[in-house]
Every structure is written in C-alpha cells, then in structure tokens.
Structure 1
C-alpha cells in the first residue's frame, strides 16, 4: 500500500485538495484503488454556508474537501472515517460592531466561535461518534446557529458539553491520536493508495503516522517532492514540548531540507503519467 502525504505551503488555498483529486484520478486511471484521508479539519458556518447546508442535509458535520474528493473520485468509504475530526465555527450575535464574547471560545473574534467538534472512529461494523458542543452558548442563543440545526448535526451521536476552549483542547489532547489512528487503519486496510491531506500548512499530520512513501508540498503553480523520511525527521526536530506535531508548520521547517523534485503546473491542470514520473511516482 502506497501512502502519499500532501502538505500546503500556505495556511489557506495552497491547492492540496486539487492535487489530491488529480493524483487520485491518475492512480485510478492506472488501475489502482484509492482512498483519501484528512485527519482534522474545520469550516465556518457563515463563510461556507452552502457546505453547512449540505452537512445539515446529510446530518453529519464533515469536511468540505473530503466531501468533494469522495464525490469526485467515487470513493465508497464513510466520510466520518475519511475525516475523523471536524470543527464548526459560528458567528456570535452582537449588539455593536467589533463586540467580542467573554469566552475563550471566541479568541478568533466574533465571526468565528468554536461551537462544535466531531470525533469519529470505527467500532466493529459501526461508527462511534462524539460531538463536543458549546452548549451554554447555543442554549442561550448567543450564536447564529439554531438549536434545531445543532440537533440535526448531532443525530445518533454522543454529545458532550464543552463551554471553554480549554475543554475542547483537553478532549482533543486525550483522544486525537486514538480516533485518527483507528480511522486511518480502517480506511487504508484494503486499498492500493491512500492520499493523506494535512491540515492547513501543518508539516506532519499526527504522531502515530510513522512513515509515508511520497511527500508533496504544494502551492499555486508548483508541486515539490521531498524525501519522506528526511521530511518526517525535520518536522519532529521542530516539535516543541508537549505540543502536537501538527502544530509544526511547513514554514518553520522548510530551511532544514531541500526538495528533491519540482513540477510546475497550470491552473486546473490534470496530471499526466509523465508528470507522475517527474514527481518520482512509477
């Protein structure tokens, strides 16, 4: 089984998901089965409202990117395992411009209150899901999301109240690796290729991922290939204290190593077999 890790140079809009789709298409056209894995993600209720509506329609809080890849490549796996952890940020109700709420969940400003976070893992032939909710903020109607909408997104899940950033962080610290590792194991069990998309510009997605076969770092116009083991070692070299490895951004470690290959690409390009060969994929 081949593992491909895609890392973004920039926090947003590096082109990771587009590359994941094009790599997936190329592998499928070559007769290989493909899975996609995005361990952690999040979206804003307001700025990505069309995606929020899709989540409400299917009754699952999931990644926009994972949904797009699944639909485009025709992947059969459950979205909740392809994307085991996903957060929802919701604007707060305010009485005056630039008002902030007196809660650590609003550290990013009034337009982005951490409101929900879903954790999913395989359990026998089913999927076990726990959703953390900023329950007091929702019940007291401090947020633009309605209680009925929260109900749709938590249907048939275990719900846990988390009314501070510290509560969300504590749960994530305790259970992140467990949920991600078990979901990844299930996803990658019977496929030829698994494409792993890192979160934002994180250099390495989670501690228990011991190795990959290819590392591609992407930005508009370019794909860079790196030696996988050297890339992993460089990421862990920059890890600080007890902070998770996903806190190490590519920018912090980029000076420690050089790309082994480079491919220049055009907007909305497709990848040919010669492009794959240029990136080191046989």
Structure 2
C-alpha cells in the first residue's frame, strides 16, 4: 500500500514534516524518489553530506531517521540534484532564471552511485574535490541530459518502483509541487494522497488522484514536462480538508510529536486508504 504525499505549494509546503510524522504513526518505509538542494542556500546540508563523500539532502535524511531502520538516505532517494545560483542571472542548461544544475547523483539498481555533471556550469571546488567525478557523465545540452536520463535515471526509478510496491506500507514524498514523483509506479498501488500546504492538508483517494494526473495539463519543471498538483486537484473534490497546526522547530524534528499534532489528518488519510482496498 502506498501513501503519496504531495505539495500544493511549490516551496516549503510541509511535505517532509508531514511524511516524517506519518512514518512514525504507521511504521512504514519512506521514499523520496527525486530531491535536490542548493550549494549556496542549503550549504550546511551540502557540507554534511560532502564530509562523507556523498550527495543527499536533509529531506531524505529526515525520512531515513523517521523510519528508524538505519537505511542510508540514498536508498530512499535514488536521484539527487545539486543546484547553484546562476551567475549574472543566466538561464543555465535547464532554462532556469535563478539557478543552474551542477551535478546529479544517481543510485543505480546494483547499489552504486554514478554522477552526471553539467559541463556548462562551474562545479564548486569543494564538490569537485569530494565527489568521485572523474568518471562522471558530462552533459552540455538538454538532449544529452535526456539521453543520460534514459540510460541511467530510468532504470533507477524502475527499480525503486518495484521496491516501493513490494513494501507492506510505503510513504512516498514528491518534490516541489509535482503531482507524481515516479511515473513507473502502478497507479493501482497508490491507496490515498495527502496534498499538503501551510496550515492545511487535503485528502484524496489514490485512484481518483492518479486518474486526474492523466488528464491534467503538463507544465515545464526542471527541464521536463511535469503534472503540477494545483492543476491536478482542479479536477477533484477532496474527501476531507483538515487544518494542521504550526509546529515549533523542536516539534518538527521529532516524528512522534508530529504524529501527535497531525493525528486527525493521518486518521483521515488512513481511512481513505482502507476504503480503497
């Protein structure tokens, strides 16, 4: 059974906090198929991972900690993208006005990490010294990146989908405001969806949310066409709308406290999941 957590707000919707408490409540396995962070704005998080010669973000680390099974963040998050601010306001390889992609880390199905480097961007010295980039795949165009995605990313995502579908209960967190973070997931396995935004959460049946994803228009997102949550939920009425309280910094770092504070929202999500079985 899959519980999908998506963000109805593009930035800081509260997905990871909601997912961490849900893992505490259910004892499920956490997954974040795609993630990213910024070498400038998330510098401390980058340094924490780079200190061990690794590349992952705080969201995947929080989910790994919340599930309590000792898994590495990379097992929950096979693809992680490192960004940096675009120099002089340039658009970068993926057409972003504010930032450019530097390097992707891809955890392959055999458990190894491979790296794809944006050859048009300057890799920060600390990143170049720390990560094993000598054998990284360089890309200079969107076409080259798409080819790398087909060869390397897609098998990693397909392997992850198989592992997620084999879990008795999986909590899958999306990224940004993207509605479906893993296209290779069987839609029938998605039992219920929580669309999270600051102060509230809306609950949807999994099959109806997935059907709406199929008909919603696509929008550009990080070099790809993606279905965005606001466009998808335009087609749906939620089963429930629930308020979630603001939490202090200490509470947000404690999955058990989150589980207590968000109890009614989790009750509604789990009831929706049971009704779909």
Tell me if 1:276 matches 2:272.
no
User: What do residues 137-166 of structure 1 show as CA deviations (whole Å, max 9, x unaligned)?
Assistant: 44xxxx5x10x52242237x9511112344
Rg bigger for which structure? Answer: 1
- Residues 175-234 of structure 1 show CA distances to partners (whole Å, capped at 9, x for unaligned) of 433211203433564x43211001111111222111311111111111111011111011
Task: State the 4+ residue runs in structure 1 displaced beyond 6 angstroms.
Answer: 243-246
Contact in 2 for aligned 1:122/1:186 (Cα 8 Å): no
Which residue of 61, 64, 80 corresponds with 1:67? 61
Q: 1:45 aligns with which of 35, 39, 42?
A: 39
Q: Which residue is 2:5 aligned to?
A: 6
Residues 161, 185 of structure 2: 8 Å contact kept = no
Equivalences for 1:215-254 in 2 at 5 Å? 215-238=193-216, 240=218, 247-254=226-233
- Deviations along 1:223-282, whole A, 9 cap, x unmatched? 1110111110110112559x9997010111222111012221111263345543333436
Name the CA distance, whole Å, in 1 between partners of 2:218 and 2:14.
Answer: 27
Q: Distance in 1 between matches of 2:237 and 2:94?
A: 38
**1:37, 1:184 within 8 Å by CA — same for their partners in 2?**
no
Taking a change above 3 Å as real, the CA distance of residues 206 and 239 of structure 1, as seen in their structure-2 partners, is farther
Q: Pairwise mapping of residues 1-282 of structure 1 onto structure 2 (< 5 A)?
A: 2-28=1-27, 34-91=28-85, 99-100=88-89, 104-105=92-93, 107-109=95-97, 112-123=99-110, 127-135=111-119, 137-138=121-122, 145-146=124-125, 148-154=126-132, 158-186=135-163, 189=166, 191-211=167-187, 212-238=190-216, 240=218, 247-268=226-247, 270-272=258-260, 275-281=265-271
Distance 1:275 1:100, change over 3 A: closer
Unaligned runs of 5+ in 1: 29-33
Q: Which runs of 5+ in 2 are unaligned?
A: 248-256
Number of aligned pairs?
257
Q: RMSD across aligned C-alpha pairs, in angstroms?
A: 2.8
